[in-house]
Structure 1
Amino acid sequence: MEKQDVMTSHSDSYIKLLKTNRELLVAHIHNTQCLLDNLLENGYLLAEDVEIVCACTTQPGKVRNLLDLVQSKGEEVSEFFLYVLQQLTDAFVDLQPWLLEIGFSPSQLIQSKTIVNTDPVSRYTQQLRHLGGCDSGFLPSYAQGSERELPLEEVYEDPVLELLGPDDESLGPLSGPPWLLDPDPGVLGGQGEAVLVLGDAGAGKSALLQRLQGLWAAGRLGAELRFFFLFRCRALGGLGAGAALRLQDLLFRHCCFPERGADEVFAFLLRFPRLALLAFDGLDELPSDFDPSRAPDSCSPWEPAPPMALLAALLSGRLLSGTRKLLTARTGTALPRNLLRAKVRLRGFGPLQLRNYARRVVPDRAARERLLQQLDAHPGLGGLCAVPLFCGLVFRCCASLCDTREDSGVLTLTDVYLRVAEVHLRRAQPRSLVQHPARCSAETLRAGRHALRALGRVALRGTERGRFVFGPDEVRVSELREGSAQLLPLGFLRVLPAPGPEPGRRVFEFLHLTLQAFFAAFFLVVDDGVGTRELLRFLGTGAGAADGDTDGDGDSDASTGACHPCLPAPCLRDCISAGLVPSSGKDHLQFTNLFLCGLLAKARQRLLRTLVPAAALRRKRRALCTHLLNRLRTHLQGLPRLQSGGFRQVQAMPAFLWMLRCLYETQSRKVGWRAARGIRADYLKLAFCNACPADCSSLAFVLRHLPTRLALDLDNNNLNDFGVRELQPCFSHLTVLRLSVNHITDTGVKVLSEELTKYKIVTFLGLYNNQITDIGARYVARILNECRSLTHLKLGKNKITSEGAKCLAQAVKNSTSIFDIGMWGNQIGDEGAVAFAEALRDHPSLNNLSLAFNGISTEGGKSLAQALKQNTSLEIFWLTKNELNDEVAESFAEMLKVNQNLKHLWLIQNQITAKGTALLAEALQENSSLTELCLNGNLIKPEEAKVFGDEKRLICF
C-alpha cells in the first residue's frame, strides 16, 4: 500500500510537466504518427481521437491537439506519452537532453507496456541492418563444385592489417577490423575523415567490408553507428558522365530505399552525419579523371549533380561533414592526405591466419593436415596462400591439383586458374547414360571451348576499355557468336542490378578482376585471329609503330588500327584514347600479362594443343619470350643506380616484380637464365615494394641463375615464412640478406639457419622488427657460430628475452668477424645484459652494439660498464630507453676513465639525475676518445644542465 502511494505521488506531476513544457514539446516533436501509433496500440486513444489529431493541417497544430488529448485522459497516459519520447531516441532525439534533465523514470506499470517503433529513421536502420545481414551473409565463390556461395562466418578469417604513417612506414599491426571505425583522431596530421585501406588484388578488401557490414548488421560495431552505406565504385563509375543524381538518390537508390518517410530519414542524416558510415569499395575502379580535390566549393545536398561530383564532395567533407568514411583501393592508389584520417595496408594471410583459415574450411583434422602437408611439399602454392583469394582457390578447388598434374613442374597461378575453369566446365557438362563427361583436362577444355572463347571475348573487350561491368547486349552478342554458349550457368559471371534510375535493368561482371584477366589472356592465346602485335599490346608493344611485321615472326598485321575480326574495329583506338596504354600499372592489365605468360608456357602447350595449332602456339610463345626479355633489359637499364659501400646498387621498383612474376609463369629455364644475365648489379634493392611470398618464387626463379654473388634488400615487405622458403634456390648467391619488417617467425629463421650455414657466405643479415622469439634466437646463434664471414646482424624489435640473449651472446663471444649487433626493442633484461657483458669482454671485432629499450636496470648496466673496461674494439654503444640510474652512471664514469676506444655512448631516456651526470662529466676530463655522450630525456632539469654547458661532448637536451 505504501509503495502504491509513492508511485501516485510521483505521477501527480506528469500532466503539469506537459503543460509547463508545452512550447518545448511543440517545437521539437516532428513525428506525431509514431506517438499516435503507440497510444492507439495500448488502448489509450480511440480511432476517433487519431482522426481529430490528424485533421489539423500543420505539424505544430497536430502536436497541440495531441497534448490536449493526452492531458485530458489522465496521469497514466501522460506518463506513457513521456515514456514513448524516451524510448524512441531516433524519433525524438532533440528531447533526450530534456528528459535526462528532468530525470524522467517510468513506473513498472508503464515499462510493461509495448512500444511499437514506427519512426521512419528507426525503421530504416532496421531495414538497413536486415539487408546488410543478408548481403554480408555469403561470400561469392567460384572455387568449389556446385557451391555458388559460401557462408561468410564459416570461411572468413581476419587478414593482417598494418597501420601506415605519413611516409607509408609501418606503425605496427592493428588489433582487428573494428579498429577501422575507431573515432579517435588519425595519424596523418590532417583533418580528414576517411580511412584508406590499401591492398593488392585478391587480398580481401571487399570481404573485409562485407565482414564489417555483417558485424554492424548484428549490432557488434557500436550502437552509435545507425547507418552503413556500402557503395561499389565499379558500379558508380558505370553511370556515365551525363548522369545527374541528388545526394538522397545516391544514398537510397544505390543502397536501400526507405519503406516510408524518405524525406524524414534524409533530414535526420543531414542533421546527424556522425551516425553514418560511408564505405566505398574499389576506389581505384573509378574513372581515371576522377579527382576529389577538384570538387566544387559548394555542393547542395538537394540539387542534382554528376555522381563523381557528389562522391568528391562526400570525400572532401563538403557534403555530410562528420560522417565516418572507409575506402578500399589497390596498392599504389594515391589520395590527397588532407582527405584521410589514417592509411592501412591489408597484408593478407600470415602463417597463423592460414592455419586458422584451414581450420575453418577443412573441419576434418586428418584432411586438413594432409592439405597443409601438401602446401609444405609445394612451396609455390604455400606462397600463393598468403593472398586470401588464391588461398580460397587452392583450398576449395585445387586440393587435388598436385596429384592430378601430368608433369612434375612447378605449380603456378595459371595452373590454379586452369583448374578453376576445369572444375566449372565439368560441372556444366551434360550427364547421361549415352554421353560420358570428359575425363582429362584437355578433353574438358575442348568440350567447353565455345563457352571459354565467348567468356574470353567479353573479358578482352572489357580489359581493352578498362571496364569491369558489362551490359546484357555485350554478353548476348558474345553468346550468339559461338553457337549460343550459355555463359551465366557456368558461374564465372554474376548478375547485378544496374545503377541508375531504370528499375529492373541488369548488368554483369566477372566474380573477380583476376578471373576477367584470365579469360582475356585465354582468348588472346587460343583465337586464331590474334596476331603477335595484338597479343603483346598490353605488355608495352608499340601498337602505333610502323605497319607490317615488326616482331620477326612472319605474322603481319595490316595496320596499326587493325583489331581482331570478331571485335569492333575501333577497339584498339578506344583502348589508347581511354588512357589504357601498355604498362599503365593497372592490375587488370598486369594480371592479363601474367596469365598470358602462363598459358604460353611450354608446359601448357600439350594441354592447349587441342584448341590451338601447335605452330601458332610456338609463334606466340617465341614472340612473348623475346618481348619479355627486351622489356626487362630496357627496364633494368632505366633503374636508378648508386655506387655505395663497395656495391653497384640498383633500386628496383614494383614494376620489376611484375615482370619477374611474368617470367616465372613461363617456367622457362632459358628465360630465367637470360633475365639473370641482364641484372648487372651486385646489390638489388627491393624495399617497400609490397612484395609477397609469391614474389619470392619469381625472384628466386631468376636469381638462382646469377653468375656472381648478390646483396638483396627486401626490407619492409610482406614475405613471412613462406617467402623465406621460396628464396631457398638463391641463398647460395646471397652475401647480404635484408629481411626486416616482413612478419617472419621462428619457422622462417629455421630455414635461414639451415640454408645460410650450407654456403657460409653471408656477411649481413637483417631481421629487424619481425616475430622472432628465443627459439628463433637459437637458430640465429647457429648462423653466427658457423658463418665466419658474418659482420652485421640486426635483430631489434623482436620478442627475444634473456634466454635467447644468452644463446646469442655466447655466439657473439665465439665470433671473430662480427662487427655490428642491433638488439634494440627486445626484452633481454639484466640477465641478457650480463650475458652480453661477458661476450664484450676482450672481444676482438665488435664495433657497434645496440641494447636500447631492453628493460636493463642496475645489475645489467653495471655489468656492461665493467666489461667495457677490458674491451678495445667497441666504438658505438646504445643503451637508450632502459632503466639505468645514477649507480649505473657511476660505473660508466669509472669505465670512461679506462676505456680510450669508445667514441659514442647513448644513455638517452633513462633515470639518471644531475648527480650521475656530474660523475660522467668529471670522467670525460680523463677521456679524449669519446666524441659524444648523449643523456637526452633523463631526469635532468634545464637549470641543472647549464652547469655542464662547457663540456660540448655531453648532450643533455
Structure 2
Amino acid sequence: MASKSSPETARDVIHHCLEDLIDKKFKEFKIRLQDYTVKPGQKTIPRSRLENVDRIHTAITIIEHYGEETAFEITQHVLEKIPDLHLLEKLKTSIQSYYSKNSKLSAADVADHNTKYKEYIKNEFRRMKDNDSTIGDQVILEERYTKLLILKNYRDKENKCHEIISRGQRHLELIAERAAQSYPSIKDLFRPEKDGHVPRTVVLQGVAGIGKTVTARKIMLDWASGNLFQESFEFVFYIHCREYNQLSAERPLAELIIPRIDGEPLLSISEIEADPKKLLFIIDGFDELKITGGLKTVDPDREFPEGKTIFSLIRKRYLWKSYIIITTRPTALDALQRCVKDERLAEILGFCEAGRIEYFTKFFGDEGQGADAIRLVKENEVLYTMCFVPIVCWIVCTVIQQNKNNRDSLYDMRTITSVYLLFLLNLLKQQSTDSERENITNDLKRLSALAEEGVPQQKILFEEDDLVKHGVDMLALKSLFLNNLIFKEYTTTVSVYSFIHLSFQEFFAALFYILEGNSAETRSPQQCDVTTLLREYTDLDNNHWMLTVRFLFGLINEERLERMKRRFHWKVSPEIKATLLEWITERLKQEEVELTSRTMELFHCLYETQDEEFVKRATRDLKRISLSTNTTLYGDKTMDSMDFRALAFCLKNSDVQNIDLQMTKIRPEDVTILISGLTRCSRLRLIQCFLTGPCCEDLVSVLKTNTSLTELDLGGNALGDSGVKKLCEGLKHPNCKLQKLRLGGCSLTGSCYEDLTSSLKTNTTLTLLDLNANKLTDFGVKKLCEGLKHPNCKLQKLGLSICSLTGPCCKDLASALKTNTSLTELDLGPNELRNSGVKKLCEGLKHPNCKLQKLRLGGCSLTGSCCEALASALKTNTSLTELDLSPNALGDSGVKKLCEGLKHPNCKLQILW
C-alpha cells in the first residue's frame, strides 16, 4: 500500500482522505455521495454499492463510476457539504501533488498546449459584437477598445455626491481629479500592497453600460497576445455568468473553461490543477447569476443547486491558490462580499475627457470625423456629461453615423430625451425576455416613483427603506439603473443607492408622470397630477424640476411614444400632451417678448418635443422676441449652442416676425444654427453680437431664401470688408427683399464699396443703408456714388457719419444728388468736410432733381464762410425740411447769412439744429 505522504494513484489520494474521516462523518459522506450528480442525465452511484463498504472500496467505486478527474471534483464538493474544511484543504494539496508527479506531459507539451490555447483565445476574443449588432456584424476589439478609469479607493460621500450632481466643465474637472486615484493599467490590479501582500481576488464593479465586459474581454485578448500577465499566469479563463445561466444543468469546471476542437479538449484538468497559483479566472457579470432566492440570500455557508462551480471558485474551496477577477454591478456587491475573502475592490468610473475623444475617433475610424462628432455633442452640456458612460458614447456615435448624410435627423442625438430613452431601451432589451415584458411598465413605475420623490427634496442618495417603500428592493431593474454606494462613517460602513447621475434620476421622475400603471401603489392620484408638478415648478420658481419638465416634454413626442408602446407595451396617459400644451402656451404669453432664462427654458422644453405642430400651436401668439441688454441669461453663462438650437427650432415653427438679440455673444457656429430659424422673420437685429466676416456666409443664405426679411441690423460687429463682400452677394439675389440694412461700426474700409455699389445697381428694394462709423474715406464715397446714380437704386436714407471723409468727396455726393431722385435723408456728420466740401455739396442741393429732406452736417468743422452757399441752396431747394449744423463754429456772421435763405419763400425748412 502506498505511503500516505506520497500518493501514487488517484485511488490513493481519495483513500487517504477518507481514512482521516471519523466513522460518523464517513457514513455521512457516503449518504451525500449517493445524491450527487455532475452531468445532466448522469446516474448516481447505486446505494447497494456503498452499503457496508470500507474506505478503500469507496474510493475505488467513486473513480470507477465518475472517472479520475470528476472523482476529485465530486470528493471535494461532498467534503464541503459535510463540512470538513480542514480535510478539504489537505485533499486539495494532495490532488495538486498528484498531478505534479503524475503528469504525462513534458514541458514542451505543456508549452505547446499553452500556445494553442492562446491562439484559440485570440480568435475568440479579437472581435466582439456591438450593443445592437446583427448576426455577423462585429468590431475588432483592439480597434474599438478605449482605456477606462479604474479607481482603486472608495470615495467619500461628499465626493460621490458631487459626481452625481455636477455637469459640464465641473464634471470634467471631477473626473480628472479621480484619474489621479486610478490604476495606471490593468496589470496594476494585482499590484502588491505596501506590506508586499497580493490579494487573490479583485472585484471590478461598475454600473450597467460602463464597460465591465469589454474590460474583461480585453484582459483575455491581451494575455493571449502576450501583452499582459505573461509572467504571472500560465492560463487565464473566462466565465460569463449570463451564458452560465443558460446551461440546462450544473457542469464541472473543466467543461466550463476548457475549449474543445473537433471534440477534443485543448487542455487537461491535470495541466490546470498542476499549479493553481499560475491561474487567473475572470468571472464576468456576477450580478446576473441566477440562484434560488436571488443574490440577497447568499451567505458563506449556504449551498445552491445552481452556481456551485462558480461559488466553489469564489469561495476558494477549489483551486484556492488561483487568482480571480470578478466583474459585477454595484447592487450585487453586498452578496459578493459575503462570499469572498482577501479581496481588492476597484471601480470602473468610465471615460475621462481624453477617453471620450479617443472613443469617438476610434468609432468613426477618422480623427476629423471624430472631432466633428465631439463638437456636435459638446453643444449639449447634459449629454456630453453623460458620455463618461461608454454605452452612451456608443448610442451617440451610432445615431450620428446612421444620420451622417442627414443632419436634420440628428435630433435623436441632440435631444437628451432621445438619448436617455435609447439608453433605457438598450438596457431593458438586454435584461428582459418576452415573458417579462408585461411587468416592465409597473417595475419602471416603481423605480420612477423613487426618483420623483427625491427630485423636489434634492435627495440623490436612497436608503434600503426607501427602496422597500416603493417596491424597488426586489426588482431586477434595480441592478440596471441604480448604483450601490458604500461609505465609511466612523467605525461602520453605510450602504445607499443612487441613480448613475442626477440627470437620470430626473429622467425617471418624468417617466413617473408619463407612464400609466400602478400609481395608486406609490402615491395618490392628486400627487401624480402633472398639473400639480407644473404649478409647483412655475409658482415656486423651482429649478429642481427644470430638467424633469424638459424630459416630460421630450417624452410626448409621438415617434418616441410609439417606440415605447411597440417595444414594451407601455401605456401612456393621453391627457399629458394637452396639459403640457395649455401650460406652455400660457407661460409664453406671460413671458411676453423679453428673452430671459425662464423663456429660454420654455424653448428648450419645446425643442425636446421635436414636434413641429405642437410648437406652432404653443407659439401662435408670439410675434416678437427681444434680448436687448448686455446681461447674460444664466448669471455668468451666456447663451450656448443648445440655447441657439432650441431658439432656432422654435423660431422655425412659429410666426415670430421681430427678433432682437442685441449684445448677445454669437459664435460663428451658433450663427449657422440660428439661421435655420430665420425663415419667416421680417426684422432681425444682431447689434454688437461679436460677429465676424465668416458669419456673413450664413447670413447670405438668409437673404437669398427669406423673402419676408425687410430689415437687418448688423451694427457694431467686426464684419470687415470680406464679410460685406459676401453679404452683397445676397443683396444682389432676386429673392432678396431687404429694405433696411445697418452696417454701422462694422470695421469697413473703402475697398468694400465696389461690392456695395454693385448691389445698389441691382437691388431695387433697399431704401436705407447705414454705413456710419466706418473708415469709408473719400475713395469709398466715390465708388458708392456710382451706385447712387444708377436708375435701379431706390435708396432713400444713407448714413455716412464718422466715415473719415473730407471735402473732396462732396463733389461726388453732389453729382449723385443731381441724379438720384429717391434719396431723402443723408447723414454726413461728423466728418472733416470743412467749408470747401459743403460748398460743393450745395451745388447738388440746388439741382431740381434733388429730393433730399434731411441733411446732417453736425461736427463737420464748418465756419461762417460756408453759410452763403447754404443760404443759396435753401432759396432753391423746396424739399429740405431738416438741417443739422451742430456743433460747428458758424459765428454770428454765418448765422446772419443763413437767415437770408430761411426767409426766402422757397425755403421749406422745419427743423434746424
Q: Which bin holds the TM-score, normalised by the shorter protein?
A: 0.3 to 0.5
Q: What TM-score, normalized to structure 1?
A: 0.45
Is the radius of gyration larger for structure 1 or structure 2?
2
* TM-score, L = length of structure 2: 0.47
